[in-house]
Amino acid sequence: MDRNAPIGVFDSGIGGLTVAREIMAQLPGERLIYFGDTARVPYGNRTKETIIRFSAQIVRFLKSQGVKAVIIACNTATAVCAESLRAELSMPVVGIEPAVLPGARTTRTGIIGVMATTKTLASAKYRHLKSIAPKEVRIIDCPCPGLMDCVEAGEFRTPHTMALLREYVEPLVEAGADTLVLGCTHYPFLSDAIRLTAGPGIRLIDPAPAVARQLKRRLDEPGLLN
């Protein structure tokens, strides 16, 4: 495979651009092809079979563009079909997952909140992450229906978005959480609004830097790093 080939990045919408941004920052020599499935966003309320079908269609397109690696920049799609794509493809496949373990290492109060879609929070992958987290850390699940739609609409600080954030974030802070895990790639677009809602001293954990580091390792091993 050609080290000059591009990297394919896909998400249900524009959220994966937060991952693409981090890849470009850490691997400036690489070219990216980004596929945002904005016609069918969101994936969080889709069936497992539908998400698998959508992801397979997108990967076929990315393969037709000659990519050397595939980044699943969508927590929901990663939870549903990352393993099957890794078994199918003869190239590096890197997914994304809520940064529960980094969040558990970061917290000072011993309480973290995980903001994510309902589908991600219900996944076996997420349950596994919680099972291997330190037992002394309390993890509060926070499904956030509607937040992805706000980002897709470019509504980062509208009254509707801020009302949703108050609904989701304030109970986490009141419960003692000092660390919020952004378990959807759309949510970093709302980082400023989340900090405004949560107040001072709250740490936000974005998994995108870890994805870029893992991609670098996966490309470096077979000599595919550009």
Mind listing the pLDDT tens digit for each residue in 125-161? 899 999 999 999 999 999 999 999 999 999 999 999 9
Strands of 7-11's sheet in order across: 32-36, 7-11, 69-72, 93-94
Q: How many of the other CB atoms lie within 10 Å of CB of 203?
A: 16
* pLDDT tier at 11, thresholds 50, 70, 90: very high
* pLDDT tier at 95, thresholds 50, 70, 90: very high
Mean pLDDT of 50-61: 97
HSE value, Cβ hemisphere, 13 Å, CA-based, for 54? 26
* Residue 196, pLDDT score: 97
Amino acid identity, residue 25? Answer: A
Mean pLDDT of 79-105: 95
Residue given tokens 């600080």 in the structure block = 157
Residues in contact with 223: Cβ distance below 8 Å, sequence separation at least 6, in sequence order: 3
**What single DSSP character describes residue 8?**
E
- 1 has pLDDT over 90: no
Nearest-angstrom CA–CA distance, 192 and 180: 13
- 216 has pLDDT over 90: yes
Q: Give the pTM.
A: 0.93
Give the angle subtended at the CA of 22 by the CAs of 17 and 27, to the nearest 5°: 120
Nearest-angstrom CA–CA distance, 20 and 34: 8
Cβ proximity of 148 and 117 under 8 Å: yes
Q: How many of the other CB atoms lie within 10 Å of CB of 205?
A: 23
The chain-wide mean pLDDT, for the chain, equals 96
* pLDDT tier at 44, thresholds 50, 70, 90: confident
Percent of the chain predicted with pLDDT > 70? 100
Q: Just list the catalytic residues.
A: 74, 184
pLDDT digits (tens, 9 = 90+) for 163-212: 999 999 999 999 999 999 999 999 999 999 999 999 999 999 999 999 99
